[in-house]
């Protein structure tokens, strides 16, 4: 009888540490989390446009090319100011003086028999203008080209204050994430708890239309311009704790 009791005590002693290890492995139950992405799109008409007007002039001497370029660009800038564009909305965005080189024929082995010669010089000057009256964009393009702007980039449409539209896109994105999370929670038979994490993805600025062209020497009518709408996009990832 004593032998049987001793055997039972030994067996119980061996089971105790095993039971403790099992309980430690299970540990506390991790909270259940739902993660949902949301997207918000807000469209709005632009209220401003930017165009880059360039003057390219060439001549045999650098000084003559520069003088011709300066005269034409001065006419363009004076005309822009006369159209009501303020100095704060005008900015020089590029100036360069480059040699015009000859193109000597190559030998059969593609080597050049002699160095290129400088035939003249090309001067380029660009000015970027911000136009706040969109109805004037076409007329300003027409006027600038007729005064000597022979390289045009734009228009790029935008809004002067994008933050309210971006914030509205964020609200729409959050509402979209919550709507989908509530739908999945209902389908799964659970309830959404408190929000535990919010992450915003990279904010997407509105895509703008841009036109690049070498303009002819004169344009007889205003350039037709359609500003359309801009789309502001926000993306968010939201995590909720789930309740039974």
* 19-33, 126-140, 162-176, 187-201: segment of lowest average pLDDT: 19-33
- Helix boundaries (H) for 31-136: 62-82
Per-residue pLDDT reduced to its tens digit, 105-162:
766 666 666 678 889 999 999 999 999 999 999 999 999 999 899 999 989 999 999 9
**φ, ψ for residue 128 (rounded to 5)?**
-100, 130
Beta strands in the chain (DSSP E): 33-44, 48-59, 90-101, 118-131, 151-158, 191-200, 212-213, 230-243
DSSP-assigned letter for residue 228: -
The whole-number pLDDT of residue 29 equals 74
């Amino acid at each position: 009888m004593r032998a049987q009791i001793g055997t039972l005590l030994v067996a119980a002693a061996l089971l105790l540490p095993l039971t403790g290890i099992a309980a430690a492995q299970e540990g506390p139950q991790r909270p259940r989390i739902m993660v949902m992405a949301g997207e918000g799109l807000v469209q709005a008409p632009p209220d401003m446009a930017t165009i880059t007007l360039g003057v390219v002039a060439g001549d045999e001497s650098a000084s003559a090319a520069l003088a011709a370029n300066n005269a034409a660009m001065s006419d363009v800038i004076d005309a822009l100011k006369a159209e009501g564009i303020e100095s704060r909305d005008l900015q020089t965005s590029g100036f360069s003086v480059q040699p015009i080189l000859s193109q000597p024929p190559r030998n059969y082995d593609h080597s050049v028999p002699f160095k290129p010669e400088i035939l003249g010089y090309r001067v380029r000057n660009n000015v970027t203008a911000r136009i706040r009256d969109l109805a004037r964009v076409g007329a300003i393009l027409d006027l600038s080209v007729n005064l000597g702007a022979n390289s045009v980039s734009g228009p790029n449409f935008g809004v002067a204050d994008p933050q309210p539209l971006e914030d509205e896109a964020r609200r729409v994105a959050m509402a979209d994430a919550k709507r989908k999370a509530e739908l999945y929670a209902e389908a799964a038979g659970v309830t959404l708890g408190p929000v535990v994490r919010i992450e915003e993805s990279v904010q997407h600025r509105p895509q703008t239309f841009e036109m690049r062209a070498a303009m002819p020497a004169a344009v007889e009518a205003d350039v037709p311009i359609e500003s359309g709408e801009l789309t502001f996009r926000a993306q968010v990832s939201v995590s909720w704790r789930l309740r039974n």
